[in-house]
C-alpha cells in the first residue's frame, strides 16, 4: 500500500472512529509498527490529525475536510485484491471511477501494467505512488465528477486494453446499471477499446435495478463480488451463464 493511499485510509478511519490506537492502525492497514508511527508523525506535522500517546485522534475545524466514508469498505478491499490478482504483467487495463477502482489502483500500483483512466483521483494516486505507466484519457475536466470528459469521439486516440474494470449501482440478469449518465456516456466509449469486461460490485447492489441499463448481461465477462452476496441471486446469475468470483 503506497503512502498516499495509506494516509487517505487512515484519515477516513479516524473520521469514523475519532480516535485509534497504534495497534488498531497496524491491524486495519496491515502495516508495521514503524510505518504506523511514521504515518502518524507525518500527518500530525501536516495538521491532519493529532498525535496522542499510543495512537492518533481526528482533528475537526472549519477548514478541515472530513474524508468521505466508503460504504462496505472491507468488502470492496477484498474485491480489489481478487481483481488485482487476475492481472498479468504487461497487460493494459482500463479502470473507471469510484472507491473500488481507487482500491484496485492501490493493489496494482508499482506492477508492470499500463493503467488507462479518466478518473483524476485514481491517476493522481498512481502518479504519487510512482507507477510507471499511467494513461490519462483527455478531455475537459469535470470538477463535480472528478473525471475527464470528451464528446469528440471521432478523433479519439487509438488505444487498446486487455480488460476494463468498472462498477455500478445495480446488477440483475438484464445487466449492469449506472445512475450517472455523464459518466456512463464516457465509459461507454472507453468500453469499446477493451477485450474483456469485468464488473466489481459489492454484494448490496446485486439484484437491484437502479438508473439506466449500462451494459447488457451477455456482454459482461466476469463479476467479482463479496462472499456476503445472497446465494439465491448468485445462483440465478450463474444459471444465466455469468462467471462469478466471491471475495
What are the respective helix, strand and coil percentages of the chain, to the nearest 5? 40, 25, 35
Cell of 124: 493522481
Using one digit for the tens of pLDDT, what is the confidence trace for 221-242? 999 999 999 999 999 999 999 9
User: The domain that contains 186 carries what CATH number?
Assistant: 3.40.50.1360
Question: What span, in angstroms and rounded, lies between the C-alpha atoms of 206 and 55?
Answer: 38
pLDDT at site 34: 92
Residue 134 domain flag: yes
Residues 135 and 177 reside in one and the same domain: yes
Q: Please report, rounded to a whole number, the percentage of residues in the chain having pLDDT higher than 90.
A: 65
- Total tally of structural domains belonging to the chain: 2
Query: Cβ–Cβ contacts within 10 Å for residue 208, how many?
Result: 15
Residue 84 domain flag: yes
Q: Which of 11, 29, 58 is the last residue of a domain?
A: 58
Q: Which domain holds residue 101?
A: 69-246
Question: What span, in angstroms and rounded, lies between the C-alpha atoms of 100 and 71?
Answer: 10
Residues 47 and 126 reside in one and the same domain: no
Residues 89 and 197 reside in one and the same domain: yes
Residue 63 domain flag: no
pLDDT at site 63: 46
DSSP 47: T
Q: Give the residue ranges of the chain where pLDDT is below 70.
A: 60-69, 151-157
Q: Which of 58, 83, 102 is the last residue of a domain?
A: 58
Residues 234 and 143 reside in one and the same domain: yes
Average pLDDT, the chain: 89
Q: Which of 12, 36, 58 is the last residue of a domain?
A: 58
pLDDT at site 155: 47
Residues 11 and 80 reside in one and the same domain: no
φ, ψ of residue 164 to 5 degrees: the values are -110, 125
Residue 52 domain flag: yes
DSSP 154: G
Nearest to 67 by CA among 18, 3, 1, 122: 18
Residues 52 and 138 reside in one and the same domain: no
Residue 128 domain flag: yes
User: Cell 472530513 belongs to which residue?
Assistant: 66
For the chain, helix (H) and strand (E) counts, in that order, are 8, 15
Q: Where are the alpha helices (DSSP H) in the chain?
A: 3-17, 22-29, 33-45, 73-85, 99-108, 120-128, 181-191, 231-239
User: The domain that contains 29 carries what CATH number?
Assistant: 1.10.10.10
Residues 182 and 239 reside in one and the same domain: yes
Residue 64 domain flag: no
Cross-strand pairs, 175:
172, 216
Residues 37 and 127 reside in one and the same domain: no
pLDDT at site 137: 87
Question: What span, in angstroms and rounded, lies between the C-alpha atoms of 29 and 50?
Answer: 18
Residues 85 and 130 reside in one and the same domain: yes
Amino acid at each position: 500500500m503506497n503512502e498516499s493511499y495509506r494516509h487517505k485510509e487512515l484519515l477516513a478511519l479516524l473520521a469514523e472512529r475519532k480516535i485509534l490506537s497504534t495497534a488498531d492502525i497496524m491491524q486495519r492497514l496491515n502495516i508495521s509498527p514503524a510505518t504506523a508511527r511514521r504515518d502518524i508523525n507525518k500527518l500530525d506535522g501536516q495538521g491532519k490529525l493529532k498525535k496522542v500517546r499510543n495512537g492518533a485522534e481526528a482533528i475537526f475545524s472549519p477548514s478541515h475536510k472530513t474524508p468521505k466514508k466508503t460504504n462496505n469498505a472491507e468488502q470492496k478491499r477484498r474485491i480489489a485484491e481478487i481483481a488485482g490478482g487476475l492481472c498479468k504483467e504487461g497487460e493494459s487495463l482500463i479502470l473507471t471511477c469510484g472507491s473500488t477502482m481507487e482500491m484496485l489502483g492501490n493493489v496494482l500500483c508499482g506492477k508492470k501494467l499500463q493503467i488507462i483512466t479518466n478518473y483524476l483521483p485514481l491517476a493522481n494516486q498512481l502518479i504519487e505512488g510512482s507507477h510507471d505507466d499511467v494513461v490519462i484519457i483527455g478531455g475537459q475536466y469535470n470538477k463535480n465528477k472528478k473525471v475527464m470528459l470528451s464528446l469528440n469521439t471521432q478523433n479519439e486516440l487509438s488505444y487498446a486494453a486487455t480488460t476494463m474494470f468498472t462498477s455500478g449501482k445495480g446488477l440483475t440478469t438484464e445487466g449492469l446499471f449506472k445512475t450517472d449518465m455523464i459518466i456512463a456516456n464516457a465509459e461507454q466509449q472507453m468500453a469499446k477499446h477493451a477485450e474483456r469486461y469485468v464488473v466489481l460490485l459489492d454484494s448490496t447492489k446485486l439484484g437491484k435495478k437502479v438508473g439506466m441499463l449500462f451494459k447488457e448481461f451477455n456482454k459482461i465477462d466476469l463479476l467479482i463480488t463479496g462472499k456476503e452476496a445472497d446465494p439465491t441471486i448468485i445462483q440465478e446469475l450463474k444459471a444465466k451463464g455469468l462467471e462469478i468470483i466471491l471475495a
